[in-house]
């Protein structure tokens, strides 16, 4: 199929990333009682009603992730994909852990650390797989993303093609639909029934963007939109408690999900191509570090100053401070350390290839070895979501 707009940067997507991150920040700072010491419906009578649905920023992140990861893996090897993801995720993540540990240890007002073994394990980003508490509750989404990357890497071993992406959508949909009935832990863990519809729909939108929309892709998107409705009640209960979930209407959450699908669809079809601006690129760059640092650090600040600063001004100032710190992490840590890590890992993987026996090396016309990393690989142009929350 003819390729279309595969290398075109979608600035609108960067803006949508930041919007999703701010939804999560709004939810944590305005809807949750923990930083304020009591329910916030009396502090923010109107804003509280809206903020209760801000956890949906996580679902938006997963939808964006499915779109951008599928879009970025074409023409790459598994080695290139691994390098780009590790160099993209870990520098800001390590900085976020360091800052969070310093703040929580200095002012243990709303959060605490169980021990240094927890901090050390968190540095691997694999704590979600061995039942280790997160240093910051928002890190749970990173493990979900890592499982999605693993699924993507498996597909890459067979070749990233239009056909194989469609097979992934079909197999993953079936596994996610059957997982609650099969009750097989391994299938449930990787099928991720609650979040699979967003990743899968993102993949379908990415195929529309790269090639062209058709009935099959639209059928996948519509099916995922319907399946995404199944777990709204569960997500409300997890984030706000069973009692609050029973009392809240679900239609606002359904509207947000439909709107997110519509926006990604518009971006995929080129309706937002004229939306450009350097500030949108900056917005996209701030999203990931903002997500990583905003919860425990921001809540600590709100709790510390809640009796000294008016609530609206406090939320606005803490949010602005988190954005400023996120920018500093991006400029002083994420960019230089990511560049160094990317270069070092490419060299390491190329060393691995040099130790592959000559008779097993691909010839000139053979497909590249899965661990080959090209010296001309493009800089990473996409960011993962963010991840998001106290429980969101």
Q: What pLDDT digit, counting tens, does each position of 242-295 carry?
A: 988 899 999 999 999 999 999 999 999 999 988 888 889 999 999 999 999 999
- Contact partners, residue 53, CB within 8 Å, separation at least 6: 27, 252, 253, 256
Q: Quickly list DSSP for 171-210.
A: HHHHHHHHHHHH--HHHHHHH-TTTHHHHHHHHHHHHHHH
**pLDDT at residue 370 greater than cutoff 80:** no
Say which range, 4-13, 98-107, 185-194, has the weakest mean pLDDT. 4-13
Question: Using the 8-state DSSP alphabet, how is residue 331 labeled?
Answer: I
- Contact partners, residue 5, CB within 8 Å, separation at least 6: 209, 210, 270, 273
Residue 378 pLDDT level (bands cut at 50, 70, 90): very low
Q: What is the overall mean pLDDT for the chain?
A: 89
Q: Return the higher-pLDDT residue of 338 and 380.
A: 338
Segment 69-87 mean pLDDT = 94
Structure tokens at 173: 């949909």
Segment 215-230 mean pLDDT = 97
pTM for the model: 0.88
Q: What pLDDT, on a 0 to 100 scale, did the predictor assign at position 352?
A: 79
Element (H, E) at 323: helix 311-329
Give the separation between CA 288 and CA 176, rounded to whole angstroms: 27
Q: What pLDDT, on a 0 to 100 scale, did the predictor assign at position 124?
A: 96
**pLDDT at residue 130 greater than cutoff 50:** yes
82: closest CA among 392, 390, 372?
372
Question: pLDDT per residue over 22-46, tens digit each?
Answer: 999 999 999 999 999 999 999 999 9
Give the separation between CA 269 and CA 213, rounded to whole angstroms: 8
Question: Using the 8-state DSSP alphabet, how is residue 153 labeled?
Answer: H
Give the separation between CA 262 and CA 246, rounded to whole angstroms: 28
How deeply is 391 buried, as exposed, middle or buried, from its count of CB atoms within 10 A (0-12, 13-18, 19+)? middle
Structure tokens at 176: 């996610």
Structure tokens at 67: 């779109």
SS3 321: helix
Segment 369-373 mean pLDDT = 43
Question: pLDDT per residue over 337-349, tens digit each?
Answer: 999 999 999 988 8
How deeply is 359 buried, as exposed, middle or buried, from its count of CB atoms within 10 A (0-12, 13-18, 19+)? exposed
Q: What pLDDT, on a 0 to 100 scale, did the predictor assign at position 154?
A: 96
Give the separation between CA 309 and CA 86, rounded to whole angstroms: 40
Segment 214-239 mean pLDDT = 96
Structure tokens at 292: 């990583």
Say which range, 42-51, 137-146, 163-172, 273-282, has the weakest mean pLDDT. 273-282
Instruction: Give, to the nearest 10 degrees, the angle between helix 11-26 and helix 278-305.
Output: 10
Question: Using the 8-state DSSP alphabet, how is residue 332 labeled?
Answer: I
| pLDDT over 90, % of the chain | 81
Q: How many CB atoms lie within 10 A of CB 189?
A: 13
Segment 130-143 mean pLDDT = 95
Give the separation between CA 33 and CA 19, rounded to whole angstroms: 23
Residue 392 pLDDT level (bands cut at 50, 70, 90): low
Segment 183-207 mean pLDDT = 96
Q: How many CB atoms lie within 10 A of CB 236?
A: 23
């Amino acid at each position: 199929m003819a390729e279309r707009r595969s290398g075109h940067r979608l600035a609108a997507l960067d803006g949508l990333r930041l919007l999703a991150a701010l939804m999560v920040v709004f939810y944590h700072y305005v809807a949750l009682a923990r930083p304020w010491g009591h329910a916030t419906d009396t502090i923010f009578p109107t804003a509280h009603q809206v903020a209760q649905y801000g956890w949906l920023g996580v679902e938006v992140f997963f939808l964006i992730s499915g779109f951008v990861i599928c879009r970025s893996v074409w023409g790459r090897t598994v080695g290139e994909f691994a390098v780009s993801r590790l160099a993209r995720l870990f520098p800001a993540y390590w900085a976020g852990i360091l800052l969070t540990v310093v703040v929580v240890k200095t002012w243990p007002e709303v959060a605490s650390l169980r021990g240094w073994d927890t901090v050390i394990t968190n540095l691997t980003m694999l704590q979600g797989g061995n039942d280790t508490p997160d240093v910051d509750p928002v890190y749970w989404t990173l493990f979900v993303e890592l499982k999605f990357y693993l699924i993507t890497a498996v597909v890459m071993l067979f070749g990233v093609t239009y056909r194989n992406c469609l097979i992934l959508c079909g197999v993953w949909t079936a596994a996610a639909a059957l997982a609650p009935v099969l009750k097989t832990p391994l299938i449930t863990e990787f099928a991720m029934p609650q979040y699979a519809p967003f990743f899968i729909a993102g993949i379908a939108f990415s195929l529309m963007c790269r090639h062209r929309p058709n009935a099959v892709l639209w059928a996948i998107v519509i099916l995922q939109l319907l399946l995404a409705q199944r777990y709204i009640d569960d997500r409300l209960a997890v984030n706000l408690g069973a009692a609050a979930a029973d009392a809240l209407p679900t239609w606002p959450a359904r509207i947000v999900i439909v709107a997110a699908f519509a926006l990604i669809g518009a971006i995929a079809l080129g309706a937002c191509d004229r939306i450009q601006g350097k500030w949108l690129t900056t917005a996209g760059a701030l999203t990931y570090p903002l997500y990583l640092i905003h919860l425990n650090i921001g809540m600590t600040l709100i709790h510390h100053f809640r009796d000294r600063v008016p609530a609206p001004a406090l939320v606005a100032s803490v949010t602005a401070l988190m954005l400023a710190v996120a920018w500093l992490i991006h400029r002083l840590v994420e960019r230089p350390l990511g560049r160094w890590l990317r270069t070092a890992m490419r060299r390491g993987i190329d060393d691995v290839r040099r130790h592959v026996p000559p008779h097993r090396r691909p010839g000139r016309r053979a497909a590249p070895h899965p661990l080959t990393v090209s010296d001309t690989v493009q800089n990473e142009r996409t960011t993962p979501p963010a991840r998001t929350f106290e429980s969101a």
